[in-house]
Chain A
Amino acid sequence: MFYREAGQFKTSYIADQSILPIAQDRVFVFGFMAVAFLGVPWFIDSYWANAIFVPFLAYALAAIGLNLLTGYCGQVSLGTGGFMAVGAFATFKLITLFPDLNLIIVILLSGAITAAVGVLFGIPSLRIKGFYLAVATLAAQFFLVWLFNKVGWFFNYSPTGQITMPSVEMFGVLVTGPSASPAARYLFCLGFVVLFALAAKNIVRGRVGRSWMAIRDMDIAAELIGIRPLAAKLSAFAVSSFYIGMAGALYFGVWLGSAEPIEAFGVEQSFLVLFMIIIGGLGSILGSVLGAAFMTLMPIFLKNFMVDGLAVEVVTAKHVEITLMGVLIVFFLIVEPHGLARMWQILKEKLRLWPFPY
């Protein structure tokens, strides 16, 4: 009843092809953005930034990246953690080699470097598919982490093997390092995620996105109508790794501040981001963000609920939380195998008719 598109006619292809063709969606999304950009920074404190918003945004960007590759192009990858490490170490090296370089340029360059590495590890995808490809990308994961752990040049021969992000200013405001304000860090990440989520949406509704989906759905037919598998698959690896590299840069630079490869970029990261896109919805940009939100917020919510609400001991709560997360994942996948994005869509369809049954 409140969500009806009746009377909204499209008179041009531009209007028909817009990302938000329905007026209610536009109002909702612009309102949401206004709150995110103008409202949240006023009350955000360092707990909210460190525990919730910044990790959520970094993971959202990584999930969008992986979804472009796995959800849209159908190439399963378990190398996400490794590619995030490439982005993080590239940022570290660039910022220590050229301290005067603008942080945005540094992060974009880190993404580009990760894209090149991603293409290199994407070459096997031309020969192998499915689970076999997943194992090949797993090799990338282990190799990259090993490389960053062993070769001193990457961490500037620091005795601990850790990399530490220096404090960097953007527009006269500190955005990284321990003394950066929570609002600045939040806004910096939010800007990146919103901008690149929009770019991802544009890519997937255009020619490149269609060629990826064609490869995913029926690779032989795609080849016969003139899509080159080489170009489509490697471009998917490149764009996906670009996003994951930037996510790694934000993850290390803005959130963690200092990182050690095995702990911060282990294979658990790869699985975590893969879970995000499966729960959020494969082949959906919105789903990537929802999945990232679910996987970062739910554990915190469960912990707070148990510790503060039920007065459970912290250690016990941690164990129960892990178990409950597993149960919830299974539950959500049984209820809706196509993820949260599909649930959102069904909800909107229901809202069209509510409160009348037909």
Chain B
Amino acid sequence: MNPERPPNGVLLEVHNISLAFGGVKAIEDVSFDIRDGEIRAIIGPNGAGKSSMLNVINGFYHPQQGSITYKGETRSQMKPHHAASRGIARTFQNIALFKGMSTLDNIMTGRNTLMKKNVIWQALYYGPARNEELKHREFAEHIIDFLEIQAIRKTPVGRLPYGMQKRVELGRALAAEPDLLLLDEPMAGMNVEEKEDMCRFVLDVNEEFATTIALIEHDMGVVMDISDRVVVLDYGKKIADGTPDEVRGNQGVIDAYLGVSHE
């Protein structure tokens, strides 16, 4: 929906990815690209392989075939921590926060890959280790301000309501200062107001932090409103790829969502 944005280079490209669990083919020969600075939606009916696709991108699943080009570097597999340190962060469909830790600690954990001081410095907690901690605390506070969660800074996240947990999870992903942010159903289970808040945050992240975003979402209104381009998966295959308007008119997509009569 941002036609004024100039066309950018490609940040991530997946080529002919196939992923199978035993005999179940989760993804078959899917290729698409994500351009620098865009909001890219991945949609499709349940079981289409959307979450699996995200898991492939950030290295949690290893595809049997195909390769991924990220920032000009092509590889067929990536370790999750490697992907994280290269600037890919994500949130999860079912909230995967660290429930025993406070909001602040969860967000600080997101900055783990950026912190370097070893355990002996940490034990002293003086000089370099403390300075490092304070520097990152400042950034964490920046994110807390951005997401408007100051009041729950020290609350254990297990006690927070669902919508807040989703927000904290976004904060944890943002803390890593990612270049590519993968959001797995960020608005699932939210009411209209919470969805609007979350949409606003996603758009702001995209603009203020210049973060490229790939999101999975079932709410078509949201997808059509905020995304620049949409890729549609069905039964592990790509059936459409283009701007929201192109996808909306695509017969294959309509069939996949509404079903086809077999007369």
A interface residues (Cβ-Cβ under 8 A, vs B): 13-14, 17, 199-200, 202-203, 205-211, 213-214, 216-218, 220-228, 235, 239, 283
Contact = CB atoms under 8 A, between A and B. Distances in A.
Interface of chain B, main secondary structure: helix
B100 to A, nearest CB: 5
22 contacts: A13-B137, A14-B134, A199-B123, A199-B124, A203-B119, A207-B112, A207-B132, A207-B133, A208-B118, A213-B109, A217-B98, A218-B98, A220-B60, A223-B60, A224-B84, A225-B84, A225-B110, A226-B84, A226-B176, A227-B109, A228-B81, A235-B119
Contacts of B85: 226
Interface residues of B, number: 41
Contacts of A211: 109, 112
A224 B58 contact: yes
Contact of B122 (A208, A221, A226, A283): A208
B225 interface: no
Nearest to A231: B81
Contacts of A199: 123-124
A213 B112 CA distance: 12
A225 B122 CA distance: 21
Contacts of A216: 98, 100
Contacts of A223: 60, 80-81
B123 A227 contact: no
B41 interface: no
Contacts of B130: 14
Interface in B102-160: 105, 108-110, 112-113, 115, 117-119, 122-125, 129-130, 132-134, 137-138, 141
B96 A221 contact: yes
B99 interface: yes
A115 to B, nearest CB: 11
Contact of A13 (B58, B112, B134): B134
B167 interface: no
Contacts of B132: 207
A225 B112 contact: yes
B43 to A, nearest CB: 22
Given A17-B137, A210-B109, A221 B98 contact: yes
A239 B101 CA distance: 21
A214 B122 contact: no
Contacts of B176: 225-226
B35 interface: no
Nearest to A200: B123
Contact of A214 (B80, B84, B98, B137): B98
Contacts of B97: 217-218, 221
Given A207-B115, A224-B60, A226-B176, A13 B81 contact: no
A206 B101 CA distance: 12
Contacts of A217: 97-101
B201 interface: no
Contact of A225 (B115, B123, B172): B172
Contacts of B138: 13
Given A213-B101, A214-B109, A218-B98, 10 more contacts: A17-B134, A199-B123, A202-B124, A208-B119, A209-B122, A217-B97, A220-B60, A222-B98, A226-B84, A227-B109
B90 interface: yes
Contacts of A209: 122
Most A Cβ at <10 Å: residue of B85, B97, B100, B172: B100
Contacts of B58: 224
B81 A283 contact: no
